[in-house]
Amino acid sequence: MQAHHKNNPKKIVLAFSGGLDTSVILKWLQLRYDAEIVTFTADLGQGDEVEVAREKAISLGVKPHNVYIEDLRDELVTSFAAPMFRANAAYEGHYLMGTPIARPLVAKRQIEIARAIGADAVAHGATGKGNDQLRFELAYYALAPDVRVIAPWREWELTGRSQLIAFADEHGLPVAKDKRGAPPYSSDANLLHVSCEGKALEDPWSAPEPDAWTRTVSPEEAPDRPIWLEIDFERGDPVALDGVRLPGAAMLEQLNRLGAENGIGRLDIVDTRYVGLKCRGLFETPGGTIWQIAHRAIESITLDRGEAHLKDELMPRYAELVYNGYWFSPEREMLQALIDQSQKRVTGRVRLRLYKGNVIVEGRQSPHTLYSQQLATFEEGGDYDQHDATGFVRINALRLRLLGRVREAMSAV
């Protein structure tokens, strides 16, 4: 791609959802630049929005051959979510990062389309206050260092939702009735999760309204009887559910269904954006919650203590890199190589019970297990001689005894 930083771009690939923001952005690009506009919509499992985006783009004047819609669900799971789950990554200890892990995939495909059709610019609809601008643009520049990036929210004079609606009305863009009243929830959905922000949620003391949750039943309304399931792992990735092998997206779809029916995966948190703002959000990640708990369970019998503890030390750094948009950074790739090395023996089966919002581990087994029932038993036997522990304890207590004597001497003065 040739960069035209001083001149108008000739062809722009816009990440397009079909919502109010990106529809206004599409029209703004058409008015601002004498350029061919191409829209790209990734099917990440968000549902009916995909075909709506196609119709919206064409209705706004984009030529049908310039409307790109691609199913990236399997790639999302196998090439992005799975590596992240091998790390047990959770930003600030809780957030399973359904949105952060999808953005670099969209950006990657956007750049690939731009290269293929000779586009010299890409555009996105992320605001200047959030994390997504970084997730898109750090990926763009990592993959195409000289690409021109257009970020309308940082360039135009529209400063808020009311001005967006006024612009839409002025230029004949359809605005849904539910967009004209009180601000709706801001949400993002894909196969891994659905997020919800805004409205009353901006007060961190206000309890969420029931309609803020859209993917899962409440734990109170979940069935009164538990269900059991078994997940098989190979080299750290889930490959079979109840003995039936499933590809990545199909596996996550089934886990989502089971989790959603049993009230699993709801999260209400305040997290810290990379730009420094704190934001309260609701996240529903039913399948991902089951996945992570099962993965930790199989790791518990297949990872050595040193491996497991080192992974847990590195996890916050890995999660921060993903959250902040550094998926294509060398440091994330270095950490990924270390994590993937640790997963070579993470093969086996986990049995779980799902009940009213809880994922309960009830069994785990592996051909590579490090668990020895002979050593763990309270009965005598095996290679463990309890007398050996006397010297072990005394050696480890040496520095504490020396310090204790010094403290005693100081207190006696």
Assess if residue 93 is contained within a domain: yes
Phi, psi for 235 (deg, rounded to 5): 50, 40
Same domain, 230 and 253: yes
Same domain, 388 and 249: no
Same domain, 115 and 215: no
Quote the number of domains for the chain.
3
Pairing of strands 194-197, 186-189: antiparallel
pLDDT for residue 398 is more than 90? yes
Partners of 267 in beta bridges: 283
Same domain, 360 and 400: no
Report the candidate in 30, 257, 21, 266 with the shortest Cα–Cα distance to residue 126: 21
What is each CA distance from 71 to 39, 41, 161, 191, in whole angstroms? 15, 9, 30, 11
pLDDT digits (tens, 9 = 90+) for 138-160: 999 999 999 999 999 999 999 88
| Annotated active-site residue in 132, 188, 232, 271 | 132
Cβ neighbours for 69, distance < 8 A, ≥ 6 positions apart: 40, 41, 42, 43, 50, 51, 53, 54
Higher-pLDDT residue of 188, 123: 123
Q: Is residue 407 annotated as a catalytic residue, yes or no?
A: no
Same domain, 386 and 296: no
pLDDT for residue 227 is more than 60? yes
Q: Is residue 300 annotated as a catalytic residue, yes or no?
A: no
Q: What band does 61 get if pLDDT is binned at 50, 70 and 90? A: very high
Q: Output the domain CATH number for residue 179.
A: 3.40.50.620
| Annotated active-site residue in 86, 103, 266, 349 | 103
Assess if residue 311 is contained within a domain: no
Confidence (pLDDT) at 1: 46
Rg (CA), the chain: 26
Assess if residue 338 is contained within a domain: no
Report the candidate in 175, 143, 121, 53 with the shortest Cα–Cα distance to residue 325: 143
Q: Please state the length of the chain.
A: 413
The last residue of a domain, from among 133, 149, 184: 184
- Angle between helical axes of 98-117 and 132-143 (0-180°, round to 10): 40
Phi, psi for 152 (deg, rounded to 5): -55, -40
DSSP 247: -
pLDDT for residue 3 is more than 90? no
Same domain, 92 and 174: yes
Q: What angle do CA 263, 229, 73 make, to 5 degrees?
A: 70
Q: Is residue 385 annotated as a catalytic residue, yes or no?
A: no
Amino acid at 363: G
pLDDT for residue 251 is more than 60? yes
Same domain, 39 and 157: yes
Q: Is residue 203 annotated as a catalytic residue, yes or no?
A: no
Q: Are 140 and 111 in contact (CB under 8 A)?
A: yes
Pairing of strands 278-284, 266-272: antiparallel
Same domain, 151 and 227: no
Assess if residue 326 is contained within a domain: no
Same domain, 136 and 45: yes
Rounded mean pLDDT of the chain? 93
Same domain, 208 and 153: no
DSSP 202: G
Confidence (pLDDT) at 372: 87
Assess if residue 73 is contained within a domain: yes
Assess if residue 5 is contained within a domain: no
pLDDT for residue 187 is more than 60? yes
The last residue of a domain, from among 184, 213, 241: 184
Partners of 228 in beta bridges: 353
Q: Which domain holds residue 265?
A: 193-303+345-365
* Rounded distance between C-alpha atoms, residue 413 and residue 410, angstroms: 5
Confidence (pLDDT) at 380: 63
Confidence (pLDDT) at 385: 83
* Rounded distance between C-alpha atoms, residue 364 and residue 35, angstroms: 58
| Annotated active-site residue in 17, 21, 215, 332 | 21
Task: Give first-to-last CA distance, the chain, whole Å.
Answer: 77
The last residue of a domain, from among 184, 215, 247: 184
Assess if residue 330 is contained within a domain: no
Same domain, 102 and 247: no
Model's pTM, two decimal places? 0.92
Q: What band does 4 get if pLDDT is binned at 50, 70 and 90? A: very low
Same domain, 34 and 168: yes
Confidence (pLDDT) at 177: 66
pLDDT digits (tens, 9 = 90+) for 306-359: 999 999 999 999 999 999 999 999 999 999 999 999 999 999 999 999 999 999
Assess if residue 223 is contained within a domain: yes
Q: Are 99 and 193 in contact (CB under 8 A)?
A: yes
Report the candidate in 82, 130, 129 with the shortest Cα–Cα distance to residue 105: 82
What is each CA distance from 120 to 30, 33, 67, 104, 360, in whole angstroms? 15, 13, 17, 19, 51
Confidence (pLDDT) at 377: 65
| Annotated active-site residue in 186, 187, 300, 329 | 186
Strands of the sheet with 237-241, listed across from one edge:
244-245, 237-241, 227-234, 348-355, 358-365
* Rounded distance between C-alpha atoms, residue 286 and residue 195, angstroms: 12
- Angle between helical axes of 20-32 and 161-170 (0-180°, round to 10): 60
